Structure 1
Amino acid sequence: MPATTSVMRSEIDEQPQALRATLDALLPKSAEIAALAQQTRQVLFIARGTSDNAAVYGSYLIQAHAGRLANLASPSIATAYGARIDLSGVLAVAISQSGKTEEIVETLQWAADCGAKTVGITNGADSPMTRIADVALVTQAGTELAVPATKTFTAQLAAQAVLALGLGAGLDAAELERVPDVVEDMLGRNEEAIDAVVERLAGVHGTVVSGRGMAFSTALEAALKLKEACYLHAMGLSYADLLHGPMAVVDADTPAILIAANSGPTLAGTVALAERVRANGAPAYAIGGGSALADACDLSVPVPDLPEWLAPFSLIVPAQIITEKLARRLGYDPDSPRGLNKVTQTS
């Protein structure tokens, strides 16, 4: 049986410190980012795994608030096909916890060779990625030992929030600077609500995790964590995609975890989805969404009020804790899931 505490839980609890240090280090780089903004029109994110989920947040944030088109790259276009694409006017943003993943480093170099300006977001200060990038945004999460990424994920969110500000997003940096205190205040709270969700999930083999807009990245990351550490068949889906067919998999044995900010343009749709899920005879569990989503679900884990653009920082924390607790509840070691390493090399 695994220990009653884990490195993963310790690293979840280290997130306020990691966020403070990251924001202190990166907010002064806004001028460097702004200089790149003058030379570019759109953003191309290069990432895999957890970093790719973080990039989904950056894509929504930049498109909604900085007025720039943002897309996720297909690294195989560079590494397998060797295609040459005119990337003049593109800001290529690579995200990698270590800064050493060969596929991501190679794709960033490819983007630079194709004419893009480059940014590297990594926790590896002296890594190949930082040597390639025009601007390196080095997060300050410290060493992360548990294989499932937690504090490096939220540090990557912070780096992308700084990136969006540098690219001209009309958002309040002071709100971003409040985030570490909000996350710190929520740690240790709502444990009973989290435990209730864990007990329900302990008896199922699969779940659907859904969110939209800014919360979509959280849904994808929550599903990935449940797969990595709990070996659950967890699907991360936009609620719009869920309604186009996959709703059929949601039933009494396959609950839905619905994730939403406490306010914002996607909340009403998430509430409607919860009502649809329950009408189909399936359980629905909420993370966030305020009282509106809580009233529409069987169980809910509340989160503090943050502006929608910052809500993913608070939404992911309960999902991380649920994952860690569920893994131990099932007799698994959340720190060292089977078949996984900290750095995954792909080609």
Structure 2
Amino acid sequence: MTTSTSVMRSEIAEQPEALRRTLDALLPLVPELAELGRETRQVLFIARGSSDNAAVYGSYLLQAHAGRLATLASPSIATTYGSKVDLSGVLAVAISQSGRTEEIVDTMNWAAECGARTVGITNGAGSPLTQAADLALVTQAGSELAVPATKTYTTQLAALAVLALGLGADLDSGALQAVPDAIEEAIAAPQGPIELIAERLAGVQGAVISGRGMAFSTALEAALKLKEACYLHAMGLSYADLLHGPIAVVDADTPAILVAANSGPTLPGTVALAERVSSAGAPVFGIGGGQALADACDLSVPAPDLPEWAAPISLIVPAQLLTETLARRLGYNPDAPRGLGKVTQTS
């Protein structure tokens, strides 16, 4: 087992400061976002990979709190099929960590040609995405060297929260600005539960990661991290979809990791799912969910007490730490998963 500190672990620890810089840079742009909001009615997110998981958070956030229909684009409609779609009244939000993924830039340009206004969210200042968008939200994560996205992902979530504020969401910007301190405390806390869960996961081939609503994005991103850095057959699902059939795969050899904010309308269902999984004899681990979820799980990792809408920015951090810990336990290098690079081009 590798014991040296990974670059991924160092970059996880950099997230509080990266989030502070990002919020300082982006909150002043709320008036410009509001202007774009007055010209549009619904939002189309354009993204791939971790950025696509961030877009899922943005979609829930805007629909639940800004009263706007928000959907995820299918980039192949633009890049492969070359179809034309009426996007008048649409705000197309393209998300790319580097801002250099051609498919995402091309799809955003296609959206503009179809009548949409455009926003680019990226960590790449001066990238093609920033140059093509009507308005660029440039996150301030700094250089990210490890292939698994950590600080670029959480700063994307922060940018999406700022987008929601600009589009009229009745949210407390003060709660958003409290997130970096909350994450800093969580990273500094003893990591015993994460070590124990990693020990339990080291002997399995697959796992189900589930959350609902705002936390669904966290389940998807956690599953992606475990797949790309630990080579675990991890399935990220909404718990509503899990109950429609795939729950059959959860057994003594396929644990469930359940993710939830410490409060909110999806918490009772998450607790009920934990109880059901446990009664079936399967291991169940929790991230967040307060004492209610902890009591229903074999092991759990506490999460900061943030409002449900802001919680996903912090909920992913324990999953990042778990991924890094498990990868090293398995003897893998979490910084450089096999077959992956920092920028993925899709033809």
TM-score exceeds 0.5: yes
Match of residue 329 from structure 1: 329
Separation in structure 1 between the aligned mates of residue 115 and residue 26 of structure 2, nearest angstrom: 25
Match of residue 105 from structure 1: 105
Match of residue 339 from structure 2: 339
Q: TM-score, normalised by structure 2?
A: 0.99
Q: Say which SS state the counterpart of residue 287 (structure 1) adopts.
A: strand
Q: Say which SS state the counterpart of residue 188 (structure 2) adopts.
A: coil
| 8 Å contact kept, 2:100–2:127 | yes
Q: What stretches of structure 2 of length at least 5 have no aligned partner?
A: none
| 8 Å contact kept, 2:286–2:297 | yes
Match of residue 308 from structure 1: 308
- 1:135-214 matches, within 5 Å, as 135-214=135-214
Match of residue 41 from structure 1: 41
Separation in structure 1 between the aligned mates of residue 240 and residue 278 of structure 2, nearest angstrom: 17
Match of residue 92 from structure 2: 92
| 8 Å contact kept, 1:87–1:115 | yes
Separation in structure 2 between the aligned mates of residue 173 and residue 226 of structure 1, nearest angstrom: 32
Q: Say which SS state the counterpart of residue 38 (structure 1) adopts.
A: helix
- 1:1-347 matches, within 5 Å, as 2-347=2-347
Q: Count residues in correspondence.
A: 347
Deviations 1:283-332 (A, max 9, x none): 10000000100111111101110000011112100000000000000000
Q: TM-score, normalised by structure 1?
A: 0.99
Per the TM alignment, residue 124 of structure 1 is displaced from its structure 2 partner at its CA by 0.5
Per the TM alignment, residue 3 of structure 1 is displaced from its structure 2 partner at its CA by 4.8
Give the aligned residue type for 2:40: T
Per the TM alignment, residue 151 of structure 1 is displaced from its structure 2 partner at its CA by 0.2
Deviates more, 1:68-77 or 1:175-184: 175-184
Deviations 1:141-187 (A, max 9, x none): 00000000000000000000000000000001111111111111111
Give the aligned residue type for 2:112: A
| 8 Å contact kept, 1:190–1:301 | no
Per the TM alignment, residue 2 of structure 1 is displaced from its structure 2 partner at its CA by 3.7
Separation in structure 2 between the aligned mates of residue 102 and residue 204 of structure 1, nearest angstrom: 37
| 8 Å contact kept, 2:40–2:91 | yes
| 8 Å contact kept, 2:2–2:329 | no
| 8 Å contact kept, 1:190–1:302 | no
| 8 Å contact kept, 2:18–2:155 | yes
Separation in structure 1 between the aligned mates of residue 2 and residue 297 of structure 2, nearest angstrom: 32
Q: Please, what is the CA RMSD of the aligned residues?
A: 0.7
Give the aligned residue type for 1:122: T
Give the aligned residue type for 2:331: G
Separation in structure 1 between the aligned mates of residue 192 and residue 124 of structure 2, nearest angstrom: 37
Q: Say which SS state the counterpart of residue 325 (structure 1) adopts.
A: helix
Moved over 3 A (4+): none
Deviations 1:14-47 (A, max 9, x none): 0001000000000000011000000000000000
Residue identity (%): 77
Give the aligned residue type for 1:97: Q
Q: Say which SS state the counterpart of residue 207 (structure 2) adopts.
A: strand
Separation in structure 1 between the aligned mates of residue 251 and residue 12 of structure 2, nearest angstrom: 31
